[in-house]
Structure 1
């Protein structure tokens, strides 16, 4: 600060309207008490202004020239380079012993677990018995269809089919008997029972035919008697008519009485009536004889018709029974096919009593953790993870895939280990999928699969190394390019400006 006897306004003109100072008094004062005016310096204001301008300029220069890494995030997990092998048992079974545990290293061919053979053995024996029974049933049904079957003694046949076979045998025997009756043969090929029935039926038919024939014969005799009577009556009538013709002239001449003439006329009329009656009786008997002959013929025809109808019904019933027996054979064949498949499975279960490791690796996701576990052949009981180097498999969204290329640097952070303490692992993007995967419940967007090759397989902290494990989740930052700060700011400004265009 400088001391001036007079006050002068500064360059900014802040005291231009200040009234003039009064002239100093003549009193004598100490030197330090003399009046003085402080003049404000503009150095600091100029320094601040130029500092701000310089900083702004340097900031703009830095924003235009300085570059920072631009990275896109991706989520995923650690996986071995080789494929994880799912180990399944060949057939369903119950686990007897478990020789490994989760995380255990195994060698190829090492026994992992054993299957209990008790159930497959019992199942195989049971299936064998059922199979034998079905084969015997089919053999019995086929023999019945071929007509070579006999009575069953050791084979257990279902009651409904046993009844059908008995009915079929009875119908067949009846059919043979009917054919013998229709053919009129003596039935030499028939059994004793069938021959007795044939003889009985033939005797019955013969009796009915003889009865009808006897009735006709009786009518023949009556007709003959009537013919004799008619012939006698006709002769008597002719004689009386001749006598009447002789007496009529005598009666007119008066040689005989009129009463005698009338008696003769009455005798002629009586003879005529008797002849007419006998002729009518003769016609009746002739018609009766014709009816008797027709009855004899009808007796034989009706019996043959009944036999033919019964034969047709029997054949239809036999065909229905044969259809049911054939259906039973087909059903049994289906059951036999299923049983053969089950028996093969049981035999295979006995053969594969031990489950061995298909390759070297580490046991992972062991489901059969206790004896008695029921293992399904369609589901893996455990997995073996190869001891190869781990890679990071991540998913990159459609929005970020544009600038991603193979060979880019990646920073991988394991979610299980804090970044501030354990840091990250450097890696290189080694593979990118050629097509996007469809959305899922876990990942609702279309994503591209990618793999990252890690520079090291462990994390270090305080001189201690921690190995990575398959399945660990991770976050990856893929460094796609370097951009200036100014380009990032202008890009954000452009996005904001573009979003304003869509405001309604």
Structure 2
């Protein structure tokens, strides 16, 4: 009896174990059908800056005066990197500035000269030209020239005025003479008429008549000559007045021509000064962005830097990083922009420091080929941060990227070999 009970208890324990195993298997299958694992595509690559490497160059070139940085040094935007010898540009700027100031003073003086002479159409010829020195802020040298030129013009105008007065005096005298000759001719003609009547009556000898006729003819000739001279003197007076006005016009026109020429020179010089000032400013080369200095080509002061020559490289340090990852062609089918990724850096232990989260932003449309025949697709992952727990990430670091292409249940992973074997079963090799 006791033996039968022992067999029965053993059978019950065996059944319990079987049920337990079946339950565990069922529970495991249920868990495996619901539990998911991420599918990842692994790629190898390296870090590149999201911004392109800046090549620091000099547009004009020159002699290196001071180098302020060294390889690997971190700089902020606006910090000086190097200075070129600025002597030739500074001298050119100073020379242009002196010339510009001289031209400005010249234009100011010429403006004062033009404003000092006023022309009008007054009836009195003396009032047609007004010479009054204009008020202007002139330097001593310009003031001396200004006074000298106005004094010269005043002397020329006075000489021209004297010529006009002389011609007016001659015109007045000729007018008086013409009036006297006209009266003398009238009296001579009256006397001639009376004498002709007396000769006809026999009261006066004919010889006296001939004498009077000769005097009358002479007076007529003198009057005609005087009248002709009056016409000439009137023209001479007008010409003298016009010549006087021409002196003032020539003075104004000459000053305006000089001012126009000086203004053109000043305008050209102003533009040239801007270019020279820009070139002088470019002798001090500053960092355009935050970054790290790399590959300094010229270090020795006094070395010649050619125009456009690359002096150093500036690797950007701000902003997110871009990881260029090589993807195996067999894994590329499910890789596309927008997928999440995790970037692990060979320089930092992933277990200790972790990695950076990122996103796929680019997948090459075609495969690339290495010299050894290896084929790969290139994917770019943009990281969410530019450093790893405060530790710097620099371009060139080697990386391993896990691109999350989807997820599968644990059961799918278990059944995958079975399904693959089923698909390949019962086939001729």
Bigger strand fraction: 2
In the superposition, the TM-score normalised over structure 2's length comes to 0.48
In the superposition, the TM-score normalised over structure 1's length comes to 0.43
